[in-house]
Structure 1
Amino acid sequence: MPALLPDRAFGFGPFILHRMQKQLLEDGRPVRLGSRALDLLVALVERAGEVVSREELVAIVWPRTVVEESSLRVHIAALRKVLGDGQPGARYIVNQPGRGYSFVAPTVRIDGQPDAVAAPRNDPRLGGLPAPLTRMIGRAESVALLAAQLKFGRFVTIVGPGGIGKTTMALAVADAQDSMFEHGVCYIDLAPLANGQLISSVLMAALGMSPRAEGLGTLETFLGKRRLLIVFDNCEHVIEPLTPLVERLLKCAPGLHVLATSREPMRAEGEWLHRLGAMAAPPPDSPLSAAEALHYPAIELFVERATATTDDFVLDDRDAPVVSALCQRLDGNPLAIELAAARVDLFGLHGLAAQLDAHVLQLVGDRRDAPTRHHSLATMLDWSYQLLSDTERSVLNRLANFQGWFPLQAAADVVRADMPVDMPVAALGADQVLDAIANLAAKSLLISDTSGEVVQFRLLELTRAFALAQLDRLGQRAEMADRHAAHVLTLVESAARQWTTGSKRDWYAAHLWLVDEMRSALAWCFTPQGDALTGARLTAAMWSIVNVINPFDRPDAVERALAALQTLPERHPALELRMNIALAAKYELVEQRTTDAIAVTRRALELAAQFDNAEFEAEALMTVVLTLMAMASYQDASTASVRLGAAARKSGSPALMLVSDRIDSQVSHFVGDNARCRRLAERVLNHPLPRGPMGTIGGGLDHRVSMRIMLSRTLWIEGFADQAALLAEQTLAFADDEDLLAQTQAYSLCVCPVSLWRGDRPAADRHIGAFRALVDKHGTDGVWLPTSALIPWWSDTSIDAVKSLLQRDHLMTAYGRFVSPEAAARADSGAAGWCAAELLRTHGENLLRADAPEAVPTARALFEKAQSIAASQQALAWELRAATSLARLMGERLERPGEARDLLAPVYRRFTEGFETADLRAAAVLLDGA
């Protein structure tokens, strides 16, 4: 009898393939793989580097059997999944189009028998575990945690939505813990079980007990002597009969451990829960390379499955964002990702992304061995849906219009709104609705976030798509979308009312979740089926918070709402008035369309007069004043501010009077009345309300920021340079606690100009750099910021691109070469207000530097007028500059140093601080040399 040939083994990557034993090991552990897939692997590995034709492979694996080519592809796909083919550095089986397949990984030959320790456990009495056809990805930490829970808890339930990978996880944990149980592992899939009363019989059969055994007493006796693990898979539809059975068996069998999978907890005594979450995917819009993206398990799974079905699929840097977005769209759900990846060969990657938007629920798998409930995402979700009570189904459907995270109370309010959709919920009380929502979360159809002070919920995108489909089927989608939009409108109006009290941080925490809902509601309202009036009201309400959160995706949102109002059968003049106020503010403060802003504001004032409504008149006049200030029409702004104050007082609203004082403080500063500016700013800062009404222009800016800006500027102009610098830093600190608007206002109107005026170039460069980085990071597209919030202090090479006269005035005070004869003439006419003295002085210096005709007498007249204007405005800083220029002219050009000293010294002596600033040092040098 000839001697047995030694087993020939092949090593490749982390694997060893034993040819004769038909066994595959990965890192020394057996890999569960079907016999036909193993036959294919042996055939390919034995001829590694060669192309093995499809005909040869079919003849090896299916001798004397006629099979379709698709069967070969299915088994090749299973092989690739197990090997992790397509992962970084892992390429094993390659398709040669029209020829066959080739094993391309480097291999080494190993002689000898496989290690007996690695032999698979074979306990036919318990049946063992089903062989997984794919490797588990990205769940190693969860496996370790579950193993620890199972060791100490004895009864652990893996809970999660359908397709999240509960079965895969349970099998991995059971396989890893197999050696811990003397009598092995018993696996029972309860999904096919229609009658829960048969569970004990199925369990006995799985344990190999005699079919003649009767009663639970026999089962208890059998288990009481054994140390084993029972895995109950897919328990959600038989929870009621299963729970008491498990509790009873655990009490009578101290060596028994139970691992269960379910879409909801069993709520049993001694149950430990492990909620299995989504596979990690890159955050939205992450600019990751392919190599970086593959560190995320969701991307790794997609690539592996796509590679298994599309031979030439390779993830590159260009496609990495597409795959990331796909995985996000599929909620990181492994089943959904697998089903989508299996369709790359049909649609292509970009075609698949387009298909998902309309047909995500129709994704169908191509595995014949997959459970029926996993054949498509729709059937997977319908499995859970059919297990719900009528009330729970109705509540789930009613929540489908929520786009993102929502608080419990908002969900309950939408569900219980007065408009009846179907009766089972309409008759429920608030507590019953809240219970139904809690049950949906327990059953993994809602996910919850308990990290904040308010518990929030969210529908997974797949669940939401399914629920919307149910609304369509029931003919209820339009009514529920209208209900959602109406409730969002109520919440936005309530949020605006709460703005003036409490902390901004608390306000954000309570209301920021509304952004997604506002966008969704607006999108619906302006469809042919939506309610345009609700859309217009919502637009008006939303405009009031655009400086806080920016929910508008459409730049013409206000215009769209106004146009919609014109199509309605009834007029809504109050709403039209508010929309015109919003539109005027948008035209001036956002788009710098001053002429259009003036026309729209005039229309708003006409409507306010028709109403004889002082509150509306005040709101319209706020836009008028700020428009005029942006135009640098300071005197006209002052006149309009007087009207604004009168309207605010007539309205009797303390909040409107507060905003009127704030605006008047700003106007007073720009018109040159620094004493009034300081008085009003201090009064506003001492007011108990931290900010004005959200519906008013600039109401989103905290007074701690806006009034400190005015005080810091005024302190510098009045000659208190050190106090101005200190207050500017405090203003920036307050702004950093606020939002982008507050930060840009603080930089552009306070810390940048004050440091430039002080001549502190290092501080100016630091602040300008930080300001520019802020703008570069956030951009200005879609950010509703007043134009004054974006003064380009870094644009010190040209002023031509700066359209706003207010911005030009600022830049000319810092960069004197920008002062033109036209700007000087405007200052000479009295139109330049706060900076008139400096513009006149700088123009005189420019004339002297250019050695223009009659430069000396002209400059002297300019310096003298500048000093006179500054003195009348109590603007000691501008007065010092004018006196210094005049003294230098007198001493150097006219050779009258005594007069120069007599001009400058009295001004210099009025200063009590700021002696290290550039202006005071220059004056001191001039006085010492005189």
Structure 2
Amino acid sequence: MYSQLPKPCARNLPAEGGAAGSFAFGQFVLIPERQLLLEDGAPVRIARRARDLLTALVLRPGELVSKDELIAHAWPELPVDEGNLKVNIGALRRVLHDDPDEPRYIATVVGRGYRFVAPVRRSDSPDPGSSADALPKPASALPARSAPIFGRAAMIASILRDLASSRLVSIVGPGGIGKTTVALAVAREAADVFEGGAFFVDLAAVDDNSRVVDAVAAALGLNTLRAESHAGLGELRDRKLLLVLDNCEHLIDAVAGCAHQILTSAKDVRLLTTSREALCLKNERVRRLTGLSTPPAASQLRTEQALDFAAIQLFVDRATHASPAFTLSDANAATIAEICRRLEGLALAIECVALRIETLGLDGMLDCIGNRSLMFVAHPADPERHRTMTALMDWSYKLLSDDAKVVMQRLSTFAGSFTLQSACEVAARDGVDPIRVVEEVASLAAKSLLATEPRDGEVDYRQSAVVRAFALEKLAAHGDRDDAQRRHAEHFLRLAEEAEADGETLPKLAWLARHGAKLEDIRSALSWALDHRASADLAVRLAVTAIPFWKQHGLTKEGRAALERVLGDGFSAHRSAHDDQRLNAALAEMHKGQATP
């Protein structure tokens, strides 16, 4: 049974030219006579040309349909070129949540045409529910689809393959990344393979470990289950089903115990879980979900290119719903790309921001990102914890130990990535020793509140923009921000002094490879010191040691502004004659345009 999951290429519909009846594939049903496409029983908005192309492909599953044939079908007697076909195939793929690199429905045959690769089930009735041949479904219990999915086709396909070989798959990632969306999409795709169907258990509202089993019982209709005993789970031993356990992070130990019992007693039940951290059970397959794809920085985008990126597709979809007057254009594509980049492809954050398109405008959104006003109201139909980014972060924050909260706050002083040693130097004080910092950094990473970045055999850590904005606010609320920022500035002064010494011996490329990533934190430390007169001495020393960073990165204008400010009268008492000599020499060099381009 499970081996059917990852096989999207089987052909089981004879090549037949008529378009009567209905055609089912995945969670979709196409009814050509009614010009209707359904997803999980609900009508889908689809342009006429895209629907015509889908009809032409679905009528010939598994066959190559040439470009000329598709154009003739969708644009009869109209002179159109292949560009129109490509654009409409792209729109069709977005409707089907399909990925051209790992297609579940439409595969490109380069230079020739397209092939529909999913199994198609045909019914002679135009009503897919009126015939036994129309795709009977098991008694599943899954929430209805509420919005299109962007950029997750490859991950969905991978998890479907995982379920074919693993009985426990966990989708792990930070809050708002889209774990529930992906899990439900997988469950809908897989439901027909499981004789007992697919069932969804939302654990967000369960606040007591002892009630986890009851929540599972309610979803599966197992009335004999009791919270104080797992014995009732034995009722599952003869059932073949997929069980989705959503939002497990606040009940992680209880969910792990329940999952272990199910896997032990019911050999034909498979589990799909979503959580900020893994269950850590034997043979658990973990899939870590990352942000939606965004364009590289400084890229020049046109409208069609922008829509190749899932984060922009999501933004455009939500902004269009919020403001019918909004359109993606060549003029605003770069701004939208920058918004999505700064939000690091975090799906919920993008949705929250896009909903304010009418009140803020695109430039206003850019100004707000990175501070409290990022935490916008999302859709009222969303779960309570997802209605604002603040609520979502509070949900994660409340699950942390007191030491983890303190470490998370202090790490927010880092503007970029940092090493474990740097984390200890900045965060270890006032009752939190270095060993504890190491433990809490590992815990925060496991809970998806720190991103990990492998580098040269080591691991760097980084807070996302949303996590950092939240943690900085908590740091300020606890009156700890200036002390933490000073420790951060002192730490990067030491690192800048090391970089300055290396500048005398290392070639530029080698120097940049070793020290270039420190630029954002050098900027942040210097900016803070310049704005705090009590740290004027630190500002002067940072400005002096930062000179190689301006030169090596070719930041002449930025370097001049920093040097001119620290050479002002307000810092004169904190500068030595040697400082003045170095600062003035560097400033003169930059004014002459002799800094490294």
* Superposed pair shares fold, TM > 0.5: yes
Matches within 5 A, 1:282-297: 282-297=295-310
TM-aligned CA deviation for residue 435 of structure 1: 1.1
Matched-pair contact (CA < 8 Å) for 2:225–2:232: no
TM-aligned CA deviation for residue 222 of structure 1: 1.4
TM-aligned CA deviation for residue 176 of structure 1: 1.0
The reply to whether residue 784 of structure 1 matches residue 595 of structure 2 is: yes
1:590 aligned partner, one-letter code: M
CA distance in 2, matches of 1:411, 1:213: 45
TM-aligned CA deviation for residue 134 of structure 1: 0.6
Aligned residue in 2 for 1:590:
590
Aligned residue in 2 for 1:443:
447
Cα deviations across residues 596-615 of structure 1 (Å, max 9, x unaligned)? Answer: xxxxxxxxxxxxxxxxxxxx
The reply to whether residue 394 of structure 1 matches residue 421 of structure 2 is: no
TM-aligned CA deviation for residue 405 of structure 1: 1.3
Matches within 5 A, 1:245-256: 245-256=258-269
TM-aligned CA deviation for residue 544 of structure 1: 4.2
TM-aligned CA deviation for residue 548 of structure 1: 3.2
TM-aligned CA deviation for residue 120 of structure 1: 6.1
Matches within 5 A, 1:407-806: 407-416=419-428, 426-500=430-504, 507-528=511-532, 531-550=535-554, 553-563=558-568, 566-568=571-573, 572-573=575-576, 576-587=577-588, 589-592=589-592, 784-785=595-596
SS at match of 2:546: helix
Cα deviations across residues 877-921 of structure 1 (Å, max 9, x unaligned)? Answer: xxxxxxxxxxxxxxxxxxxxxxxxxxxxxxxxxxxxxxxxxxxxx
Matched-pair contact (CA < 8 Å) for 2:210–2:227: no
Matched-pair contact (CA < 8 Å) for 2:141–2:219: no
1:403 aligned partner, one-letter code: A
CA distance in 1, matches of 2:496, 2:301: 36
CA distance in 2, matches of 1:473, 1:19: 62
CA distance in 2, matches of 1:116, 1:313: 44
Cα deviations across residues 205-259 of structure 1 (Å, max 9, x unaligned)? Answer: 2211224778756434212212211100000000011112211221222112110
Q: 1:409 to 1:214 in 2, by over 3 A?
A: closer
From 258, 263, 271, give the equivalent of 1:258. 271
From 154, 160, 185, give the equivalent of 2:167. 154
1:380 aligned partner, one-letter code: L
From 380, 383, 386, give the equivalent of 2:395. 383
Matched-pair contact (CA < 8 Å) for 1:536–1:565: no
Aligned residue in 2 for 1:121:
137
Q: 1:178 to 1:566 in 2, by over 3 A?
A: closer
CA distance in 1, matches of 2:228, 2:370: 53
Cα deviations across residues 430-489 of structure 1 (Å, max 9, x unaligned)? Answer: 222111011101111110011433311111000000001101211222222122111110
CA distance in 2, matches of 1:120, 1:563: 78
CA distance in 2, matches of 1:328, 1:129: 32
CA distance in 2, matches of 1:319, 1:362: 23
Matched-pair contact (CA < 8 Å) for 1:408–1:434: yes
1:555 aligned partner, one-letter code: R
Q: 1:451 to 1:543 in 2, by over 3 A?
A: closer
Matched-pair contact (CA < 8 Å) for 1:536–1:564: no
CA distance in 1, matches of 2:314, 2:471: 27
How many residue pairs get aligned? The number is: 507
2:528 aligned partner, one-letter code: W
2:408 aligned partner, one-letter code: L
Aligned residue in 1 for 2:416:
404
CA distance in 1, matches of 2:449, 2:194: 34
Aligned residue in 1 for 2:359:
346
Matched-pair contact (CA < 8 Å) for 1:540–1:579: no
SS at match of 1:512: helix
SS at match of 2:293: coil
Cα deviations across residues 19-77 of structure 1 (Å, max 9, x unaligned)? Answer: 99xx9645xxx4354xxxx6x989x99xxxxxxxxxxxxxxxxxxxxxxxxxxxxxxxx
Q: Which moved more, 1:393-402 or 1:526-535?
A: 526-535
Identical pairs, percent: 33
TM-aligned CA deviation for residue 282 of structure 1: 0.8
CA distance in 2, matches of 1:590, 1:572: 20
Matched-pair contact (CA < 8 Å) for 1:558–1:579: no
Cα deviations across residues 167-201 of structure 1 (Å, max 9, x unaligned)? Answer: 00000111111122121112100000011111112
2:426 aligned partner, one-letter code: V
TM-aligned CA deviation for residue 18 of structure 1: 9.2
SS at match of 2:369: helix
CA distance in 1, matches of 2:160, 2:493: 49
TM-aligned CA deviation for residue 312 of structure 1: 2.1
Q: 1:25 to 1:121 in 2, by over 3 A?
A: farther
CA distance in 1, matches of 2:537, 2:227: 70
TM-aligned CA deviation for residue 382 of structure 1: 0.7
CA distance in 1, matches of 2:511, 2:371: 36
CA distance in 1, matches of 2:184, 2:336: 28
Matches within 5 A, 1:839-850: none
Q: 1:117 to 1:195 in 2, by over 3 A?
A: farther
TM-aligned CA deviation for residue 303 of structure 1: 0.4
CA distance in 2, matches of 1:322, 1:122: 46
1:524 aligned partner, one-letter code: W
Matched-pair contact (CA < 8 Å) for 2:372–2:469: no
1:493 aligned partner, one-letter code: E
Cα deviations across residues 838-897 of structure 1 (Å, max 9, x unaligned)? Answer: xxxxxxxxxxxxxxxxxxxxxxxxxxxxxxxxxxxxxxxxxxxxxxxxxxxxxxxxxxxx
SS at match of 1:406: coil
Q: 1:586 to 1:475 in 2, by over 3 A?
A: same
Unaligned runs of 5+ in 2: 1-19, 49-87, 96-123
The reply to whether residue 302 of structure 1 matches residue 307 of structure 2 is: no
TM-aligned CA deviation for residue 143 of structure 1: 0.6
SS at match of 1:531: helix
CA distance in 2, matches of 1:504, 1:285: 23
Unaligned runs of 5+ in 1: 1-6, 46-84, 93-109, 418-425, 593-779, 791-930
Aligned residue in 2 for 1:169:
182
The reply to whether residue 31 of structure 1 matches residue 19 of structure 2 is: no
Higher-Rg member (1/2): 1
CA distance in 1, matches of 2:227, 2:442: 39
Matched-pair contact (CA < 8 Å) for 2:237–2:268: yes
Matched-pair contact (CA < 8 Å) for 1:565–1:572: no
Q: 1:508 to 1:454 in 2, by over 3 A?
A: farther
Matched-pair contact (CA < 8 Å) for 2:214–2:226: no
From 202, 223, 237, give the equivalent of 2:250. 237
CA distance in 2, matches of 1:118, 1:284: 48
1:591 aligned partner, one-letter code: H
Matched-pair contact (CA < 8 Å) for 1:199–1:242: yes
Normalised TM-score (structure 1): 0.51
CA distance in 1, matches of 2:225, 2:444: 41
TM-aligned CA deviation for residue 353 of structure 1: 2.8
Structure (1 or 2) with the greater helix fraction: 1
CA distance in 2, matches of 1:506, 1:134: 48
Matched-pair contact (CA < 8 Å) for 1:478–1:529: no
How big is the alpha-carbon RMSD for the aligned residues of Structure 1 and Structure 2?
3.4
Matched-pair contact (CA < 8 Å) for 1:186–1:206: yes
